[in-house]
Amino acid sequence: MASSSTRSIIPGSKRAAMSNAKAVGAVPVNQQIEVTVRLRSGHDRSALDTQTMSAGQHPANRKILSREEFASKYGASANDIAKIEAFAKQNDLSVTSINRAQRNVVLAGTAAAMTKAFGTTLEQYQHPNGVYRGRVGELTAPDDIVAIIEGVFGLDDRPQATTKFQIRKTGTAKAKAPTADSSFTVPKIAKIYNFPQGADGSGQCIGLIELGGGSRAADIKAYFSGLGITAPKVTIVPVDKAKDKPTTANSADGEVMLDIEVAGAVAPGAAIAVYFAPNTDRGFLDAVTTAINDAVNKPSVISISWGGAEVTWTQQAMTAFEQAFTDAAAMGVTICVAAGDNGSTDGQTNGTQNVDFPASAPHALACGGTSLVVNAAGVATETVWNDGPNSATGGGYSSFFPVPAYQTALGLTSGRGVPDVAGDADPDTGYDVRVDGQDLVIGGTSAVAPLWAGLIALLNQQLGHPIGFLNPLLYGSLQGKGVTTDITTGNNGAQQAGKGWDACTGWGSPNGQALLNALGS
């Protein structure tokens, strides 16, 4: 099965160097590299996209595919896999794994073989936090296989994403009201947001995506013991040779423990599967597709608190993530993603407005942030979280994804609007957590994604079926039923809060019992 001698560009593969990096030399020709080649689906997906975007379909009436059914219908075809195996052999690459459900073929070989196979040049780049192996420009492949390839990930191993958590600094708690709470336990937050009683998430699994850091069993035990809650079962799932590797509290450990503790305190009866992967576009995507297609742990909701401005991603990566989230919707899996912590610029220094990805993917439930104050009388008030450009909720309009069907009634003129919902994220009104032996107060939209994930686990348990893709309902049949509390005060820089949906806090913070009642009717 010889490949064509003529080559074409792999669509969406164009990549630029990091803005703060410079090339410092060639990658050694014998350096060993692994890449994930993502293949097209073995079946037409147009009906899948239409079905998941349907605005009026109640979750109980949706046709949910099991992971096995989905793999059989929409996985990579045997013929396409065979073509990639032949391509690998011709280019002195070895096939180390094949996953039909994830549509992934992993290839390994030297840098010299990889550059020849995909028509690129690999260099080492120096940036403020270290060195990465990188490429610029587009990738190519033989004409007879380029149509079956949807992306090649791993040639470039730059750090792709950042965490979305912020540790409260000592002495900065806000005095918004003389007797205001300045931090909250997770059960207190759940009570404020009227999460349904009598459920603990039993029978559900919450998936957490982590691109660094680690967890400590002693911290998990101490944290939940302090709350008087039985600690959830936590399963570690390594992806692409990554490990659960705790270090210090101000590292990515803060992200990992925040995610486990928030999701677990909301739904302690749910199992928690933590997917650790390298912080690269390949690692991130492989973690997501592993979690979505995990037929062992079977998460019904996945929380992601990592991301980066859309301008830092390749088009092939954003397309692949969105397709994976569409797959999740077809399998009844909800994807909750933090919307970012750097306001309307998303941390970009060129003065432009940006949204964080993968929160901007249309099949993600993008979770923005508020500042929550509860006075002595127990009355809660919320405003948009904004303590400055680098401590404010993300939000705005996608420059890559068009307005999805469920948002057309909003009259948006640019792209997909972010976020969809919100919750307390201000580190000055944050969450009491435990990380590496320290009791800390942490905020950021990183806390909001697992908060919503925990709520969805409770709802799935009580409804007896998965909610799955919630966005069309939020923008459609759930309107007017009080399932969220509208946040009308504040801004995140360029975006202003107002009545109804806005690009700061979406539809607002959750009213859990009202959401259960509305979905149960």
Closest by CA to 149, choosing from 139, 158, 157, is 139
Residues serving a catalytic function are 255, 259, 446
Give the span between the Cα atoms of 508 and 382, in whole angstroms: 9
| Structure tokens given for 118 | 């995909």
Write the Ramachandran bin of 346: left for phi over 0, alpha for psi from -120 to 50, otherwise beta. Answer: left
Cβ-based neighbours of 378, under 8 Å, separated by 6 or more? none
**DSSP state at residue 310:** G
| Structure tokens given for 506 | 């979406």
Closest by CA to 140, choosing from 340, 5, 328, 332, is 5
- DSSP per position, 63-124: -PPPHHHHHHHHSPPHHHHHHHHHHHHHTT-EEEEEETTTTEEEEEEEHHHHHHHHT---EE
148 alpha carbon, distance to own chain's centre: 26
Give the span between the Cα atoms of 466 and 457, in whole angstroms: 8
Coil/strand/helix, residue 40: coil
Tokens 């948002």, residue located: 407
Cβ-based neighbours of 380, under 8 Å, separated by 6 or more? 192, 372, 373, 374
